[in-house]
């Protein structure tokens, strides 16, 4: 048991010390592990699997979404298949590092969330507008970080169009050509079995391109979101500061009362020297007696 506690403590400390990119990977992996362990636990006891996915995945049907709007955020951290999370996290790590050569960690975190939101909204919109998907909308849902990752890939690709990668079998290739190839593939695959995923990729890609174009114009799309997150994070800190300020105020008041009491005792002692004990009033004698006991 102590070893288990030490492991959790080390993981917690590692998470706190890590940067935004590592935190995003940590969260995705943690959610994946929890979902799979939950399913394994039910299978071991031959119990019906009460899946966690319906509470985390983004439904395409508007009526279902209105009952759980938080899924627009949770879906982008949710995976169920091992290969799904493996490739998403590898892409997030590789292109996240490239992204950080030109942008900040705060912009990376903000773009991850905005790209996921854009992909989720385009998925819902497409499934409720196009007749091809409308019949499937009531039973379709979206999970995965792909839209968020695509936003990062396309942002850096369109911001640094001359950036080159060396890929196995393909050799040296410009990153923007790789991004455009992925875009065309997703566009051609929007009627496949994973139509929702490919549509979400396109939403993330459009958001990434928009981010790059606005950055070149001197505007940062992630700034409002990051400010909002700062305000939420500072709520607890404000309470802490208020608590400290109250403590300081109480301390100042106490010190002020002590200084006034000491000054009064000094005056009584001066009178004692001049007039003797008999010259003190009964109240002054009492205060002097009380002070002698402290």
Nearest to 20 by CA among 111, 102, 130: 111
Report pLDDT for 235.
Answer: 78
Mean pLDDT of the chain: 84
More confident residue, 270 or 53: 53
Sign of CA dihedral 107, 112, 114, 115: positive
Count of CB atoms situated within 10 Å of the CB of 65: 17
Over range 214-232, report the average pLDDT: 91
146: its two tokens = 């792909």
Q: Residue 225 forms beta bridges with which residues?
A: none
- Strand 141-142 relative to strand 58-59: parallel, antiparallel, unpaired? antiparallel
More confident residue, 212 or 242: 212
Report pLDDT for 166.
Answer: 80
Per cent of the chain over pLDDT 90 is 54
pTM of the model: 0.76
pLDDT per position as a tens digit, 137-158: 778 999 999 999 999 999 999 9
pLDDT per position as a tens digit, 157-206: 999 988 888 877 777 889 999 999 999 999 999 988 889 999 999 999 99
Classify each residue of 192-226 as buried b or exposed e, where b means 16 or more C-beta atoms within 10 Å of its C-beta.
eeebbbbbbbbbbbbbbbbbbeebeeeebbbeebb
Report pLDDT for 184.
Answer: 95
Report pLDDT for 142.
Answer: 96
Residue 276 has pLDDT above 80, yes or no: no
Classify each residue of 160-186 as buried b or exposed e, where b means 16 or more C-beta atoms within 10 Å of its C-beta.
beeeeeeeeeeeeeebbebbeebbeeb
- Strand 164-167 relative to strand 171-174: parallel, antiparallel, unpaired? antiparallel
Sign of CA dihedral 117, 210, 111, 152: positive
Residue 254 has pLDDT above 60, yes or no: no
Nearest to 215 by CA among 93, 107, 91: 107
The model's confidence at residue 45, banded by pLDDT at 50, 70 and 90, is: confident
């Amino acid at each position: 048991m102590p070893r288990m506690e030490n492991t959790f403590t080390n993981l917690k400390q590692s998470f706190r010390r890590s940067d935004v990119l590592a935190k995003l990977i940590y969260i995705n992996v943690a959610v994946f592990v929890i979902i799979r362990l939950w399913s394994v636990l039910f299978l071991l006891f031959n119990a019906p699997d009460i899946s966690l996915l319906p509470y985390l995945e983004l439904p395409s049907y508007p009526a279902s979404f209105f009952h759980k709007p938080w899924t627009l955020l949770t879906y982008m951290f949710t995976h169920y298949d091992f290969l799904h999370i493996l490739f998403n996290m590898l892409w997030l790590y590789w292109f996240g590092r490239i992204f950080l050569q030109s942008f900040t960690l705060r912009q990376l975190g903000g773009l991850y969330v905005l790209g996921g939101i854009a992909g989720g909204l385009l998925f819902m919109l497409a499934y409720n507008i196009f007749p091809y998907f409308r019949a499937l909308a009531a039973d379709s849902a979206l999970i995965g970080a792909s839209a968020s990752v695509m936003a990062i890939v396309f942002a850096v690709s369109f911001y640094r169009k001359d950036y080159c990668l060396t890929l196995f079998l393909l050799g040296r290739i410009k990153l923007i050509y790789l991004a455009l190839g992925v875009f065309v593939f997703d566009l051609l695959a929007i009627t496949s079995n994973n139509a929702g995923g490919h549509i979400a990729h396109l939403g993330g890609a459009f958001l990434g391109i928009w981010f790059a174009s606005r950055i070149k114009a001197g505007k940062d799309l992630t700034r409002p979101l990051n400010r909002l997150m700062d305000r939420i994070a500072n709520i607890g800190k404000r309470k802490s500061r208020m608590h400290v300020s109250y403590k300081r105020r109480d301390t100042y008041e106490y010190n002020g009362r002590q200084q006034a009491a000491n000054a009064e005792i000094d005056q009584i002692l001066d009178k004692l020297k001049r007039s003797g004990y008999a010259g003190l009033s009964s109240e002054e004698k009492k205060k002097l007696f009380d002070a002698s006991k402290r």
